[in-house]
Amino acid sequence: MTEALTQIPTDFTLELPDPEDEQISEPEFQHQIEMAWQVCDRFDLQTDIWRGRLMRTVRDREKRNGEGRGMGFLNWLQEHDISKSQAYSWIELANSADQLLSSGQLEPGTFEQFSKRAFVETAQAAPEVQQLVSEAARQGERITRREVRQLSDEWTAMSSDLLPEEVKTKAAANTIPPRYLAPLVRELEKLPEPHQAILHKEMVASPELDTLKEVTNEARQLAKYLNATTHVQALADQNLHLEQALAEALRLGCLNSAADLVSQAAQLEQSMAKLFATWKRLRRLSERVYLESGASTPHLRSLLQALDSLCGETLHLELGQAQGTPQQVSVTLATEPHDP
């Protein structure tokens, strides 16, 4: 191991262009900077992969010989000024690299074709996308995060059953950019089949880019509406036909407003719960300070008296003082028994 360490080069240098040299054209200057950056990126990627393997080795050793609580690993990280989140980020990167190598998707020599972010993006992509990226890397192409995302979008567009053939045909002919289809598929995947079918018909009737943008927005609002309805207690306690209400909102063209309405209702209920919990804590703290204070602490008692308006069952607050037309807002907090 000592011999291996002595063989590692320590004189890592790069030739950078002189920023004061007016003889270098701007395109040439940018080219030299980009080439140097790529070297740093490749060096950084491979170093971080080995860091991850090293962290994994230390962690696994601790699991084998330690008491199973991981304290030895955490102590090692602390000694080397490494956070736990950073360590596991490196371990995840190393696991991804080893998985891609063991599956035959990548060869060690192709790592230098990747930027660090592109490699992470590839590790998180679908196996089919990994294969496409690997083929490009083996052919000597420079792999950036943009290329990985573009390939991922293209694969999503051509493989998803949620898109009609009319749309896929236009995407294959580059009439519709694939980057618009991946967000659409992600939003459609969140919806139940009946809603997917409705939007599918819209795309078949008009497989144009503007239609796809509208469908993407509709799908996003539908998902927002459906998700919010599950978090509103007021809706759960009523005999409502939420699907019919949704259909009517679609028919009237006010889906966005309906989705925001339900979302705001969910936020209001959450705010009410948070307000009640904060109010109870304020009352407990006020009572504790009152019991610990006395005649010898008049200023502390004055503080409690000033906050008394927030400790009662009815809270008072003035709004709009800066505009010169203040409004008195009162909120009554009281617990009531709930009949199941």
Name the nearest CA neighbour of 230 among 175, 190, 274, 196: 190
How far is 15 from 324, CA to CA, in rounded Å?
64
Residue 170 lies in a domain: no
Residue 71 lies in a domain: yes
Print the domain residue range for 95.
Answer: 24-99
Backbone angles phi, psi at 316, to 5 degrees: -125, 140
How far is 50 from 224, CA to CA, in rounded Å?
42
Residue 75 lies in a domain: yes
Residue 118 lies in a domain: no
Residue 79 lies in a domain: yes
- What does 63-125 look like in DSSP terms, one character per residue? HHHS-SS-HHHHHHHHHTT--HHHHHHHHHHHHHHHHHHHTTS--GGGGGGB-HHHHHHHHHS
Residue 172 lies in a domain: no
Q: What is the pLDDT of residue 3?
A: 45
Tokens of 102: 């063991």
Q: Is the pTM of this model over 0.75?
A: no
Q: H or E segment at 161? A: none
Residue 263 lies in a domain: no
Residue 35 lies in a domain: yes
The domain total for the chain is 1
CA 268 from chain centre, in angstroms, equals 24
pLDDT band at 75 (very low <50, low <70, confident <90, very high): confident
pLDDT tens per residue, range 277-303 = 999 899 899 999 989 888 889 899 899
| CB-count exposure of residue 147 (10 Å: 0-12, 13-18, 19+) | buried
N- to C-terminal Cα separation, the chain: 70
How far is 65 from 124, CA to CA, in rounded Å?
32
- pLDDT for residue 271 is more than 80: yes
Q: What is the pLDDT of residue 135?
A: 85
